[in-house]
A and B are shown apart, each in its own frame.
Chain A
Amino acid sequence: MATTTPSRRGVPDRTSKVRSGAGAGTGTGRRRGPGLRRDRLSVQNGPGWLFSTPFLVLFLTFMAVPIIATFLMSFTEFELRNVADPFSAEFIGLENYTRLFEDEKFLTSLFNTFYFVVLGVPLTVGAGLFAAVLLNRGVGRMRTVFRVGFYAPVVTSIVAVAVVWRFVLDPADGLISGLASEVGLKSPDFLGSNVLAMPSLIVMAVWRNLGTAMVLFLAGLQGIPTEVREAARLDGAGIWQEFRSITVPLLRPTMLYVSVMTTIGFLNVFEEPFVMTEGGPDNSTLTVSLDMYKEGFSYFHMGYASSMAYVLFTIILAVTLLQLRLLKDKTK
């Protein structure tokens, strides 16, 4: 998930005005009107191009070329033996794609990914919003401590996180089993059970990612003018009413951004199952990305893995467009 500055949608108008002005660079060419293409490459635009070259070079080399290469690869039977001579890969049309939908394992991974998203995203967004609202008004002095506390998991290495969570979830001497045995209960083997492994990973992912959502919501909350809240309170709104009728509607742009980004991140889920379960037990935590990784890097079915990547890409695109539509800001 992106941890960069929120888009303009997520922050109040004042800053967005400042920002759009600051984005000079190539923008100057546009103001002079479209029309002449030569104009863009003229001397005045030289510095702009110069400044963007590092990005463009990196982008083209490490993103654009590979994106195109994998797209082409997804129509071939690219295997280990083709690595030395990529053009020898046999073109097989849509076969990779048709095979995918007969691949029991891929369908399982697709199901697991949706399971993860459907439960994980609302929980993350909800928990993030809850934490943000509390932090925005509830706690006074300890605010920074809490913010750091909630945000720390986002920037902690997954390996360290995995070690800690294993201690928490360990059926023999973990934290939960310890607490359970205190009260005379027996804790299940969370990561070893087909049924509980995925929910356990979801809980972990929610904990890990709610920090990002929280920070974004905090920014959004601070952008809600106090006058509106005061007016509502004068009109006799309670906490709940204020939350429902003021906070939520005015947070809509932030909400859109947070849920789109969280959904994209969750659809790509890889790390959690990779470090905690390797997709097991019995493929119950195998996600599309993990399956793709295994096919591509363990077995070198690069063509097949590429087609998986494009199926996932299409799904992400569709889900994102759907979200943009459903959560569109209707107040404007």
Chain B
Amino acid sequence: MQPIPRIAAATAATTALALLLSACGSGGEEQTSAKDKQTLTVWGMGEEGKHLAKIGKEFTKKHPNITVKVTPVGWDVVHQKLTAAVAAGELPDMAQMGSTMLGEFIELDALEPVDEKTFKKDDFFPAAWNGGVKDGKAYGVPWYVDTRALYYRTDLAEKAGVDKPPATWKDQMDLAKAYKDKAKTKWGTYNQPANVGAWQTWLPFLYSAGGDLLDSSGKPDLDSPESVKALEEYAAYFDQGLSRKSSPPDYDVVKDFGTGDAPMFISGPWIVQNIQDQQPQLKGKYATAPLPAGESSTSWVGGASLVSFKDSEHKAAAKEFTKYLTETKQQAAWYEMAKSLPANESAFDEPQLKNAPEQLDAFEKQLKTAKTVPPLAKWEEFSGKIDEGVARVSQKGESPKKAAAWMQKATEGLVD
């Protein structure tokens, strides 16, 4: 229990820093032309940050006057680091930014609008592009995308007497039951029951039920009949003991997928690589499928965009680098390197993507119809309320209707 003083001190130190440094945060008035000799500072997240450094070197070979300096920042701390950097006026020139964080930094007025003549909306998956659009202006160029689809164990499905992927909610429920009853697995599926990020597995249910996060006037729409239906469907798995009701904060479903304890779950494309690395014995024993349909089979788009900051003095160079990163060839090469899906649609016709593992097909298909998570300034909090709403039905046993009403009330004040 020692760290409380530390946390208090950290809070305090951040604040003090903010107070001290806010005075010296100055805007970059002097713009450097793309042809001058300069260093471009870029923040990349997690694994991508490491790969980005390599691409930066290649970029410098073509543009010898621009040195790209990449700082990899962990996904778990990036939010705090960026906000602290905004406060201190110490932002890099550009950064990779998770799709759900865009809204917050648009609100903070830290991002430079995208030059929509250079970067064409039509080149990218519409949902990915729209994730960075606020009041008709785009603030991020989609770099890579991800979406959620269904993973399931084909070997165990066979044992349970099911030989095709679940296409509807009912199929999915039947498969979960068959896994548990006939294939004798511990659980039938894994729906994240609570904690940070539970919204990520619930949102596909909401979108597939035909629901939405916000209504047409921009107010939360979480108590709609569709939302209640999505919660009901989600909760049914807990009620029937088909999904675990609690999981530790750093629970890794891939492990339970490997043992067969959780033979089905909804997640993103990076899992294909994780399974290959961590559970190689699963090769040929699992498949992916588009989300089973409620009203429709609709997922949501995540991923990351490239943003440049208002205060940067190297906007021209940042534009060059962004251009380099988002062109077709580089996007396909990026897939090879980092195994994340290109945001530029044309890259899917490149050989690297054509030869990708078949498990990725479902994601490509899903991306075509996937919906945006609207950029909200208070997304962290908004999603936190969804996490809690989900926990209310999964753990507290509250009725979906009541939980939906609660979510609606809790999120009402969080949109402008």
Q: For residues 165 through 206 of chain A, which have their beta carbon under 8 Å from a beta carbon of chain B? A: 166, 172, 189, 191-194, 205
Please tell me which stretch of A22-30, A47-55, A232-240, A264-272 contacts chain B, meaning at least 4 of its Cβ atoms lie within 8 angstroms of it.
Answer: A264-272
A-B CB proximity, top 3 nearest:
A66-B12, A192-B246, A268-B4
- Whether, in the assembled complex, B245 has its beta carbon less than 8 Å from a beta carbon of chain A, the answer is yes
Contacts of A271 in B (CB 8 A): 1, 3
- Whether, in the assembled complex, A311 has its beta carbon less than 8 Å from a beta carbon of chain B, the answer is no
In the complex, the answer to whether A282 meets B396 with C-beta atoms within 8 Å is yes
Given contacts A172-B186, A268-B4, contact A66 B9 (CB under 8 A): yes
Contacts of B245 in A (CB 8 A): 189, 192, 281
Contacts of B388 in A (CB 8 A): 283
Q: Mark B376-403, 1 if CB is under 8 A from A, else 0.
A: 0110110010001001100110000000
Interface on A for B, CB 8 Å cutoff? Answer: 1, 3, 61-63, 65-67, 69-70, 73, 80-81, 83-86, 166, 172, 189, 191-194, 205, 209, 265-266, 268-272, 275-278, 280-283, 289, 293-294, 296-300, 302, 305, 309
Q: Mark B24-41, 1 if CB is under 8 A from A, else 0.
A: 010000000000000000
- Whether, in the assembled complex, B276 has its beta carbon less than 8 Å from a beta carbon of chain A, the answer is no
In the complex, the answer to whether B1 meets A69 with C-beta atoms within 8 Å is no
A86 CA to B384 CA in the complex, in Å?
Answer: 26
- Whether, in the assembled complex, B60 has its beta carbon less than 8 Å from a beta carbon of chain A, the answer is no
- Whether, in the assembled complex, B180 has its beta carbon less than 8 Å from a beta carbon of chain A, the answer is no
Q: For residues 330 through 382 of chain B, which have their beta carbon under 8 Å from a beta carbon of chain A? A: 377-378, 380-381
Q: Which residue of B lies closest to A194 (CB)?
A: B395
In the complex, the answer to whether B391 meets A270 with C-beta atoms within 8 Å is no
Nearest CB of chain A from residue B19's CB, rounded to whole Å: 5
In the complex, the answer to whether B380 meets A65 with C-beta atoms within 8 Å is no
In the complex, the answer to whether A280 meets B391 with C-beta atoms within 8 Å is yes
A282 CB contact (under 8 Å) in B7, B194, B378: B194
In the complex, the answer to whether A189 meets B83 with C-beta atoms within 8 Å is no
A69 CB contact (under 8 Å) in B19, B247, B377, B396: B19
In the complex, the answer to whether A298 meets B381 with C-beta atoms within 8 Å is yes
A280 CB contact (under 8 Å) in B12, B86, B246, B378: B246
Chain B, interface size category, equals 35 or more
Nearest CB of chain B from residue A91's CB, rounded to whole Å: 16
A281 CB contact (under 8 Å) in B377, B384, B391: B391
Q: For residues 238 through 294 of chain B, which have their beta carbon under 8 Å from a beta carbon of chain A? A: 244-249, 261
Given contacts A271-B1, A277-B249, A289-B7, contact A70 B15 (CB under 8 A): yes
A25 CA to B108 CA in the complex, in Å?
Answer: 49
- Whether, in the assembled complex, B296 has its beta carbon less than 8 Å from a beta carbon of chain A, the answer is no
Q: For residues 69 through 96 of chain B, which have their beta carbon under 8 Å from a beta carbon of chain A? A: 80, 83, 86-87, 89
- Whether, in the assembled complex, B415 has its beta carbon less than 8 Å from a beta carbon of chain A, the answer is no
A272 CA to B11 CA in the complex, in Å?
Answer: 20
In the complex, the answer to whether B4 meets A62 with C-beta atoms within 8 Å is no
Best-surrounded residue of B13, B194, B249, B378 (most CB of chain A within 10 A): B249
Q: Mark B102-146, 1 if CB is under 8 A from A, else 0.
A: 001001100000000000000000000000000000000000000
In the complex, the answer to whether B3 meets A270 with C-beta atoms within 8 Å is yes
Contacts of A84 in B (CB 8 A): 18, 22, 25, 86-87, 89, 108
Contacts of B384 in A (CB 8 A): 294, 298-299
Contacts of A172 in B (CB 8 A): 186, 261
A268 CA to B4 CA in the complex, in Å?
Answer: 6
In the complex, the answer to whether A299 meets B244 with C-beta atoms within 8 Å is no
In the complex, the answer to whether B12 meets A69 with C-beta atoms within 8 Å is yes
A209 CA to B2 CA in the complex, in Å?
Answer: 10
Q: Which residue of B lies closest to A280 (CB)?
A: B194
In the complex, the answer to whether B11 meets A296 with C-beta atoms within 8 Å is yes
Interface on B for A, CB 8 Å cutoff? Answer: 1-4, 7-9, 11-13, 15-16, 18-19, 22, 25, 80, 83, 86-87, 89, 104, 107-108, 186, 193-196, 244-249, 261, 377-378, 380-381, 384, 388, 391-392, 395-396
Contacts of A265 in B (CB 8 A): 1-2, 4
A39 CA to B13 CA in the complex, in Å?
Answer: 34
A81 CA to B18 CA in the complex, in Å?
Answer: 12
In the complex, the answer to whether A67 meets B12 with C-beta atoms within 8 Å is yes
Contacts of B377 in A (CB 8 A): 80
B22 CB contact (under 8 Å) in A86, A268, A281, A296: A86
Contacts of B4 in A (CB 8 A): 265, 268, 270, 289
In the complex, the answer to whether A268 meets B15 with C-beta atoms within 8 Å is no
Q: 4 new A-B pairs (CB below 8 Å) besides A278-B196, A297-B11?
A: A3-B2, A86-B22, A192-B245, A298-B384
In the complex, the answer to whether B1 meets A73 with C-beta atoms within 8 Å is no
Contacts of B108 in A (CB 8 A): 80-81, 83-84
Q: Which residue of A lies closest to B104 (CB)?
A: A80
A305 CA to B14 CA in the complex, in Å?
Answer: 14
Contacts of B7 in A (CB 8 A): 270, 289, 293
A164 CA to B384 CA in the complex, in Å?
Answer: 28
Nearest CB of chain B from residue A185's CB, rounded to whole Å: 18
A302 CA to B11 CA in the complex, in Å?
Answer: 9
B16 CB contact (under 8 Å) in A61, A276, A281: A61
Nearest CB of chain B from residue A117's CB, rounded to whole Å: 11
In the complex, the answer to whether A83 meets B1 with C-beta atoms within 8 Å is no
Contacts of B107 in A (CB 8 A): 80-81
Nearest CB of chain B from residue A323's CB, rounded to whole Å: 17
Contacts of A294 in B (CB 8 A): 384
A281 CA to B246 CA in the complex, in Å?
Answer: 7
Q: Which residue of B lies closest to A208 (CB)?
A: B1
In the complex, the answer to whether B186 meets A86 with C-beta atoms within 8 Å is no
In the complex, the answer to whether B395 meets A276 with C-beta atoms within 8 Å is no
Given contacts A84-B22, A265-B1, contact A282 B13 (CB under 8 A): no
A278 CA to B80 CA in the complex, in Å?
Answer: 18
B8 CB contact (under 8 Å) in A191, A276, A309: A309
In the complex, the answer to whether A69 meets B15 with C-beta atoms within 8 Å is yes
A1 CB contact (under 8 Å) in B2, B25, B193, B244: B2
In the complex, the answer to whether A266 meets B2 with C-beta atoms within 8 Å is no
A275 CA to B1 CA in the complex, in Å?
Answer: 12
Contacts of B193 in A (CB 8 A): 281
Q: Which residue of A lies closest to B19 (CB)?
A: A86
Given contacts A70-B11, A80-B108, A172-B186, contact A86 B380 (CB under 8 A): no
A212 CA to B193 CA in the complex, in Å?
Answer: 37
Contacts of B1 in A (CB 8 A): 1, 205, 209, 265-266, 268-272
Given contacts A85-B22, A192-B244, A270-B3, contact A280 B15 (CB under 8 A): no
Contacts of B249 in A (CB 8 A): 275-278
In the complex, the answer to whether B13 meets A66 with C-beta atoms within 8 Å is yes
In the complex, the answer to whether A282 meets B392 with C-beta atoms within 8 Å is yes
A298 CA to B391 CA in the complex, in Å?
Answer: 18
In the complex, the answer to whether A280 meets B195 with C-beta atoms within 8 Å is yes
Given contacts A84-B108, A271-B3, contact A300 B11 (CB under 8 A): no
